[in-house]
């Protein structure tokens, strides 16, 4: 068995295709075999496109995952296509290529490859601790707006989740207009936390930052086994 090299996120073989998901499963299995690691303690961490892949693995992969961390993830390819097109970023062409259509977007194919629109297997999510992180300035000084994380967090919550577990419309507006008003004393790594939620095994942290991951905080979450009561803090 050899590790999977992966496909670029600008071809139909990439962007969470069945081939790509199976390839990541194979790479994890290869790593477990080579290192004799505990197969029940697999922690997947990704940022940006890697965060996108991590969430696809959560929903469609075969390998059981103890925890998933997605930093600045893309969760809706069609939405991101519109957002990057409006800003003149090159990613729009990559998304079109992933959908198998040169010069245009196959919206239905983009939806099929988007975590936000994938079926959520309840037993899978319950067994996996999921952490979503986004820097408040991403989408302005970075390439992926925080709406991708906000909407996916809401998607993962059980339908009967209490109101306090969700991000309200007022809070979403405050994140656009006056995020400092939401900031409290908590930190993730060395960054202030603007907004956080933690319910039913899923956490969301909007922190002071941009399109990035905080390696120390990510490692801390893995070291704790992904089962902490709340998001990792410095």
Provide the pLDDT confidence category of residue 231 given band limits of 50, 70 and 90: very low
Residue 12: the pLDDT is 83
Residue 191 in this model has a pLDDT that exceeds 70: yes
54-96 pLDDT per residue, tens: 999 999 999 999 999 999 999 999 999 999 999 999 999 999 9
Residue 229: pLDDT band (50, 70, 90) is: very low
Mean per-residue pLDDT of the chain: 90
Assess whether pLDDT exceeds 70 at residue 4: no
Checking if the pLDDT of 41 tops 60, the result is: yes
When comparing pLDDT for 5 and 115, which is higher? 115
How much is the pLDDT for 40? 92
Superfamily of domain 18-223: Alpha/Beta hydrolase fold, catalytic domain (3.40.50.1820)
Instruction: Report residue 10's pLDDT band, with 50, 70 and 90 as the boundaries.
Output: confident
pLDDT surpasses 50 at 230: no
Predicted confidence at residue 228, as pLDDT, reads: 44
The number of residues making up the chain comes to: 234
Ranges of each domain in the chain: 18-223
Q: Is residue 7 pLDDT above 70, yes or no?
A: no
pTM as predicted? 0.92
- Phi, psi (deg, nearest 5) at residue 206: -105, 120
Q: What is the pLDDT of residue 103?
A: 79
Residue 226 has pLDDT above 80, yes or no: no
Say what the pLDDT of residue 232 is.
Answer: 41
């Amino acid at each position: 068995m050899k590790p999977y090299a992966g496909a670029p996120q600008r071809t139909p073989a990439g962007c969470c295709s069945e081939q790509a998901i199976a390839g990541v499963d194979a790479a994890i299995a290869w790593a477990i075999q080579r290192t004799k690691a505990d197969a029940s303690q697999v922690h997947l961490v990704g940022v940006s496109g890697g965060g996108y892949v991590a969430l696809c693995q959560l929903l469609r992969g075969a390998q059981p995952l103890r925890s998933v961390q997605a930093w600045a993830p893309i969760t809706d390819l069609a939405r991101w296509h519109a957002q990057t097109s409006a800003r003149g970023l090159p990613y729009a062409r990559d998304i079109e290529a992933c959908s198998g259509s040169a010069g245009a977007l196959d919206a239905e194919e983009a939806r099929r490859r988007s975590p936000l629109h994938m079926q959520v297997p309840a037993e899978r999510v319950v067994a996996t601790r999921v952490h979503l992180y986004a820097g408040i300035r991403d989408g302005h000084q970075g390439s992926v707006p925080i709406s991708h994380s906000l909407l996916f967090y809401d998607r993962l919550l059980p339908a009967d989740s209490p109101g306090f577990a969700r991000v309200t419309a007022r809070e979403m507006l405050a994140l656009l207009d006056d995020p400092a008003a939401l900031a409290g004393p908590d930190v993730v790594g060395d960054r202030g936390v603007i907004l956080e939620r933690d319910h039913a095994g899923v956490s969301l942290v909007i922190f002071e930052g941009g399109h990035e991951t905080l390696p120390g905080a990510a490692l801390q979450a893995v070291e704790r086994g992904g089962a902490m009561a709340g998001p990792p803090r410095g």
